[in-house]
């Protein structure tokens, strides 16, 4: 019987993907582990591997096709000993239980990119979203309370019920995003939980005040064009809207004198070792100091290094700092893992690598998913201060403004100092005002005295 190769779900939240490239053609033989195609999601380009042996009998979705719904049949595989022509002529059906055809690495939901809170630009609204594709018959499913279904094994559902865990909030790592027993075990300790996708029951819903048609009617015909949103822009809109609606934000702003930091940066860069081509092996930026200071500050104030869940507070042992990187069409937050343990030169080189691969959409899911906090820096654009939206499951995000010379009063005299304003956004469910003030105070002490980061 022909084997249907389906558009894989590269994350539990993925509904569509772009079939960027076929690496096999009709008539090619494949074996388990062969990479057969490349799929573009809103965040990255990922490889799809075959897990059955056979011959590619027919390709149904040509490369370059965009917005292919998850579980749509993209190709047909003739099994060992099967007639290839007969398999190609057979009518594919996605309504049957999906056979072992192709799979991609299991991934957790993509976090919302760090972004400043600002008024959206005047632009045409997105087209009406297509209905979520009907998944092929798969493991037993239950409603997730958000208009979709959660696929989970019977054992996972029983373990979740016994532990008082909502299986709908557990990230599945089984085939096609299925929730399995190990996922529930992780969820008991607060790991692998999804951010809420919609306002909780009883919370006020915020509906759009104008329809697409009403908005367009305000503009003169022919004076605009509608550019459809891509997957990344839709994800950013959905996740940040959910965050600002569901996470009670409060903001703390403080000014930092970075005179010592700038002097230390100049000295460190001047002493950087050279490679064979006489180029420095690293070049530290102000943002590298910011990442390190935020990481160490969270270690000093561990009650801020947390994530909120309905069942309990998740306290993280390490400071995994996400850093907003602008890329075509949006933002992404690659994560410096265990940043408190790393040198400034290591952080600098990791960030340069992440930024380059982010812009070409080559980051792996594990490089941008998760984290315990985030940093969004608009200083290079001359922005003096701003507020940023928290990326669940983070409880904080630091918005960093530009460094500039400002007059300050010291000992009754006016002096000129290099000042930088930072604003900390806090999730009030997890962090109260005084605790947030301790964290931003610890950051200020470190950024103004960078030698303390090395202790």
User: For residues 394 and 359, is the Cβ–Cβ distance under 8 A?
Assistant: no
pLDDT at 86: 80
pLDDT at 191: 67
Q: What residues in the chain have per-residue pLDDT under 50?
A: 94-113, 115, 117-148, 197-207
Looking at the structure, give the CATH architecture of the domain made up of residues 248-454: 2-Layer Sandwich (3.30)
Q: By percentage, how much of the chain surpasses pLDDT 90? A: 45
pLDDT at 80: 77
Going from N- to C-terminal start, the domains of the chain cover: 3-103, 248-454
Domain 3-103, CATH among 3.40.50.300, 2.60.40.1080, 2.40.50.100, 1.25.40.10: 2.40.50.100
What residues does 4 pair with on adjacent strands? Answer: 76
pTM: 0.61
pLDDT at 229: 83
Catalytic one among 249, 318, 385, 428? Answer: 428
pLDDT at 128: 35
Task: Write out the two tokens for 73.
Answer: 């049949």
pLDDT at 53: 85
pLDDT at 445: 97
pLDDT tens, position by position, 349-358: 999 999 999 9
Would residue 146 show up in a list of annotated catalytic residues for this protein? no
pLDDT at 223: 94
């Amino acid at each position: 019987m022909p084997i249907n190769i389906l558009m894989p779900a590269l994350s539990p939240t993925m509904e569509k993907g772009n079939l960027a490239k076929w690496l096999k053609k009709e008539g090619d033989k494949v074996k388990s582990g062969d990479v057969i195609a490349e799929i573009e999601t809103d965040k990255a380009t990922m490889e799809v591997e075959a897990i059955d042996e056979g011959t590619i009998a027919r390709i149904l979705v040509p490369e370059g096709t965009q917005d292919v719904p998850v579980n749509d049949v993209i190709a047909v595989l003739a099994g060992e000993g099967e007639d290839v022509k007969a398999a190609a002529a057979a009518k594919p059906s996605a309504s049957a239980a999906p056979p072992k055809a192709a799979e991609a690495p299991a991934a957790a939901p993509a976090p919302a990119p760090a972004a400043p809170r600002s008024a959206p630009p005047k632009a045409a609204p997105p087209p009406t979203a297509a209905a979520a594709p009907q998944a092929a018959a798969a493991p037993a499913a239950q409603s997730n309370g958000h208009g979709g279904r959660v696929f989970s094994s019977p054992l996972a559902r029983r373990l979740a019920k016994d532990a008082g865990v909502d299986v709908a909030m557990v990230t599945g790592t089984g085939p096609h995003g299925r929730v399995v027993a190990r996922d529930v075990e992780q969820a008991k300790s607060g790991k692998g939980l999804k951010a809420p996708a919609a306002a909780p029951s009883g919370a006020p819903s915020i509906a759009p005040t104008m329809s697409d048609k009403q908005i367009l009617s305000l503009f003169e015909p022919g004076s605009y064009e509608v550019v459809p949103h891509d997957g990344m822009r839709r994800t950013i809109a959905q996740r940040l809207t959910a965050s600002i609606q569901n996470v009670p934000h409060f903001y703390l702003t403080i000014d930092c004198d970075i005179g010592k930091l700038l002097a230390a940066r100049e000295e460190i860069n001047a002493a950087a070792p050279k490679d064979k081509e006489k180029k420095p092996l690293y070049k530290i930026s102000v943002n590298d100091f910011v990442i390190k200071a935020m990481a160490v500050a969270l270690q000093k104030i561990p009650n801020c290094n947390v994530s909120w869940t309905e069942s309990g507070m998740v306290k993280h042992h390490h400071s995994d700092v996400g850093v907003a990187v602008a890329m075509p069409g949006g933002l992404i937050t690659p994560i410096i893992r265990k940043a408190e343990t790393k040198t400034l030169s290591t952080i600098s080189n990791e960030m340069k690598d992440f930024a380059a691969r982010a812009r070409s959409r080559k980051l792996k899911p594990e490089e941008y998913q998760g984290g315990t906090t985030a940093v969004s820096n608009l200083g290079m654009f001359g922005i003096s201060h701003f507020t940023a939206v928290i990326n669940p499951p983070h409880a904080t995000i630091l918005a960093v403004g530009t460094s500039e010379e400002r007059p300050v009063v010291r000992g009754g005299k006016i002096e000129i100092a290099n000042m930088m304003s930072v604003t900390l956004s806090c999730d009030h469910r997890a962090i109260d005002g005084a605790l947030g003030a301790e964290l931003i105070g610890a950051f200020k002490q470190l950024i103004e005295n960078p030698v303390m980061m090395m202790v």
